[in-house]
Structure 1
Amino acid sequence: MSTRENGSEEEPVIRDNRKIDPETGEVRGADGGVDQAESASAVPPAAGPDLASVELATQLAERTADLQRLQAEYSNYRKRVDRDRAAVKEQAVAGVLAELLPVLDDIGRARDHGELTGGFAKVGESLEAATGKLGLSSFGTKGEPFDPTVHEALMHSYSSDVTEPTCVEILQPGYRIGERVLRPARVAVAEPEDPAPADN
């Protein structure tokens, strides 16, 4: 041992090189202190992974909502396109059939007068069958109540044989496609002679 200048002796330095701290039981590092890597692994991790999982869940929810919105928009678009396509088709068919109505009227008049015979009868039947397949139907029968939404009154009279405005003669049949009226039935209408008594 060496002595200091003032004559006092220098105290000995004691180094504890044990790998495990006897008081805490933790593993020490090379410098004699507690190994930071080991102690860090013993401590639970910070809340970083929880924050990341929350962000991932939020992003997943946003992407899912975007996908659902796109699917709804596409579904609405398809329905709108299908509806528009059906409307265009119906208008095109109605336009063609409206041009054929005078021909059908001629066929009907020829049939009523017994002039539709032979090959012309077959042609008329074929044309009527073809227009029927496209959805064209005729309406208007004698004796049915007068309905201004589907009938056009060309003649008017009074009769004791009816109790309400009635179609007593069909001058020209009406035609419709589904619920759409292409042409109203042109009719002669008869009304009761005496008004019905009022209810008291």
Structure 2
Amino acid sequence: MTEENLNPEEGESRPEVEEVAQQPSRDPAPSPEGDEPEVAGAAESPEAPGVEAGAGAGADELTVTKMELEERTLDLQRLQAEFLNYKRRVERDRELLRENATYAALTPIIDVLDTIDRAREHEPLEGGFKATAEQLERVVAGLGLVKFGEVGDAFDPTVHEALSHIGTDAEVEVTTCKVIAKAGYKIGDRVVRAAQVLVVDPA
């Protein structure tokens, strides 16, 4: 039982207060030198996965769109080139068709023109025959039929047909057309009939 001390003045007893030894407070151990305390929220949080996925999807769509645009551009250029080639072929075929039709129509007339030339060699044309001959020559010339072959022309096997060699000539340096038996005719660069000639060689 705890002893009670009597207070003579108050006549009351007080319980004896036991002294309790105060223990020193235990502070937390200091952090190692150089370490800084972590601050909540200081580290940046990584981007949300949804944002990265959205950006990647947008880039993929842009790449696909560019590729499709390039493909469509190439297709358009190819179609344009094919159309231009087709147009050139059509124009070339049309010109060839026109030339063939003219060739077929004028070839028989060459014999008539030969007759007119032989008539001129005998005597000048007169009257209605002269007018008809000149009109016919104008018509065929308008259709593109060109007459060629003159005395003195250098012999060219691509446009001349040599019927005979009639000797040599000291005045010529190359084989030369000396006599034109029949004139030649051509349409453009196409020879309808080669000129039939007699030629001489250099002496």
TM-score when normalising by structure 1: 0.70
Cα contact 1:173–1:185 (8 A) shared by 2: yes
Q: Distance in 2 between matches of 1:43 and 1:105?
A: 93
Between 1:147-156 and 1:180-189, the stretch displaced more is 147-156
Match for residue 34 of structure 1?
Answer: none
Q: Equivalent of 2:130, from 121, 133, 137?
A: 121
Aligned sequence identity (%): 45
SS class of match (2:150): coil
Whole-Å separation in 2 of the counterparts to 1:81 and 1:74:
10
Asked if 1:187 corresponds to 2:200, the answer is no
Q: In the aligned structure 1, how far is the partner of 2:62 from the partner of 2:123?
A: 88
1:99 has 2:108 as partner: yes
> Would you say the 8 A contact 1:107–1:124 is kept in 2?
yes
Indicate the residue corresponding to 1:177 in structure 2.
187
Query: In structure 2, what is the Cα distance between the partners aligned to 1:145 and 1:157?
Result: 15
Counterpart in the other structure of 1:12: none
Residues 169, 200 of structure 2: 8 Å contact kept: no
**Alpha-carbon distance, 1:82 to partner:** 0.9
1:84-103 Cα deviation digits (max 9, x unpaired): 11111111111211111001
Q: How far 1:144 moved relative to its partner?
A: 1.9
CA contact under 8 A between 1:168 and 1:189: conserved in structure 2? Answer: yes
Higher Rg of the two aligned structures: 2
Where does residue 49 of structure 1 map in the other structure? Answer: 58
Distance 1:43 1:148 in 2: 84
* Structure 1 residues 189 and 47: CA distance shift in structure 2, 3 A: same
2:15 matched residue in structure 1: none
1:101-143 CA-to-partner distances (Å, cap 9, x unmatched) read 0011111222222263212211111111111111111111112
1:159 maps onto 2:168 in alignment = yes
Q: Is the 8 A contact 1:159 1:191 kept in 2?
A: yes
Question: How far apart are 1:46 and its partner, in Å?
Answer: 3.6
- Paired with 2:101 and 2:192, the residues of 1 have a C-alpha distance of 13
Alignment length (residue pairs) = 158
Q: What SS does structure 2 have at the residue aligned with 1:47? A: helix
Task: Please say if 1:168 is aligned against 2:141.
Answer: no
- Equivalent residues in 2 for 1:68-79 (5 A)? 68-79=77-88
Q: 1:162, 1:43 → 2: CA distance?
A: 98
Measure the CA separation in 1 of the matches of 2:140 and 2:105.
Answer: 10
Identify the residue that residue 64 of structure 1 maps to in structure 2: 73
SS at match of 2:111: helix
Among candidates 109, 112, 130, match of residue 139 of structure 2 = 130
Is the 2:119–2:125 contact (alpha carbons within 8 Å) kept by the matching residues of 1? Answer: yes
CA gap of 1:50–1:170, structure 2 versus 1, over 3 A, is same
SS in structure 1 at match of 2:166: strand
User: Tell me, which stretches of 5 or more residues in structure 1 are unaligned?
Assistant: 1-22, 25-38, 194-200
- Partners of 2:145 and 2:135 lie apart in 1 by 14
